[in-house]
Amino acid sequence: VNQLKELIRRIDLPLHEHLQTHGVDYLQFSFRWMNNLLTREIPLPCTIRLWDTYLAESDGFATFQLYVCAAFLLHWRERLILEQDF
């Protein structure tokens, strides 16, 4: 969770600051992502493809998962920036 927070801070400081300003703790959403490996957030065929990559990469469960979660936030960036009430 802390690695995701740091990664977003480095690659999209305005998004990170927006979340911080509105009191959004990364633990509120990313714990579920990390704990369930995104199985609740994406369709089963995509989950299977992700799991295939997790198993194929030597540190897939750590590094690849981190970057996938960051990509989720960047994908929803515009909506998140517009949101004022979390």
Tens of pLDDT, residues 10-62: 999 999 999 999 999 999 999 999 999 899 999 999 999 999 998 998 887 88
The predicted model gives 64-86 an average pLDDT of 95
- CB-based contacts of 12: which residues, under 8 Å, 6+ apart? 73, 74, 77
- What pLDDT does 83 receive? 95
What is the pTM (predicted TM-score) of this model?
0.88
Which residue ranges make up each domain of the chain? Answer: 12-82
Predicted pLDDT at 60: 74
> What confidence score (pLDDT) does residue 21 get?
97
pLDDT at 6: 98
Query: Largest Cα–Cα distance of the chain, in whole Å?
Result: 40
